[in-house]
Structure 1
């Protein structure tokens, strides 16, 4: 039947594809018959390579490295290097007579000597020991000319607030604004005229007074009288 023929042809195609894409077990050597490959199944070169590898470790010694520095040794080396580096420090002294030019670290300091002729005591002269001799290398002072004084800041704030109204001024302005307006207490209603029906309503926007006018009288239930059936029949007799 056609169905059997198509199934058989399809099976032949699949077998051909499998043979083309995958090698037979006998074609891949002795390893083809093993479920797992052990070191013993490898060549001597591969065995030596695997046996000589380093296992995972957390230290250099664990990898067989013997000439590496530890973290503690690195920190100590850095501290020693910094300590041996020449660096300058600033020292405040009252006069040049207080400077020891033959001290071991004399050439590693900048000496700040106060200058009596300075402005407001903020001027200093800088000295350094160079080749065993004291040399003046410059002057230094605190420059506060670009900073505002407390009185100047206070004056600037007061000047900036001149354009703003004070609380008392605002309150006064509100009271003056509402002085001519009608207050809630001014509202009232007055009724005039006869009757029980409001026929007109007037409002005075100057005084806040409402005036209601009664012009007619409407009938109420009391004004109506019940008519009996006998009275209705009598009308048509």
Structure 2
């Protein structure tokens, strides 16, 4: 005999519970019978709130804000502030004769004059215009003494790797460790018994064989029937 997925009595009880717990549209007032509630269906005070809302806008003026700065005004204010700030810039010159102490903005520059007596040509003397006069404020050079050379780095890497095994050594160690163990190709599955429900599972760790035992027959989709649409509609009649 076929078995239905949900008994008719159970579904009838469910429908009765729904009717008992939830009110019908006709019992919850005028809004209950509407598919969509419009502003006209709302109370006057709620209508005023909705009608007085601000519409979406892309500018501050669109929201009624008239004292905010525009993007152009903000960019202009930033540029003005930066331009009014004192800052130093570096200038490369061949000699102090090329420095014009009376030039506009001369006191805001650091003049780098190459020193021919410098080490490997990487030495410069720094000058600034102070109170209208050129003053030497220091020397500058590139110091690479604390940096390792390429050959030193290569030797350090090679020395650090001496404690690590090579790829060939690792492969050899792995092959030796798995020798005699069950390989993936050795794994197999066999089944015994009748039915479509597994009642037992055994594994042989020497051969790598799994044995599945079947001893029961479970219901399948063919053993069930659907409740018809007519039966469902009859419960809501």
Q: Normalising by structure 2, report the TM-score.
A: 0.45
Query: RCO higher in 1 or 2 (8 Å CA, sep ≥ 6)?
Result: 2
Q: Normalising by structure 1, report the TM-score.
A: 0.45
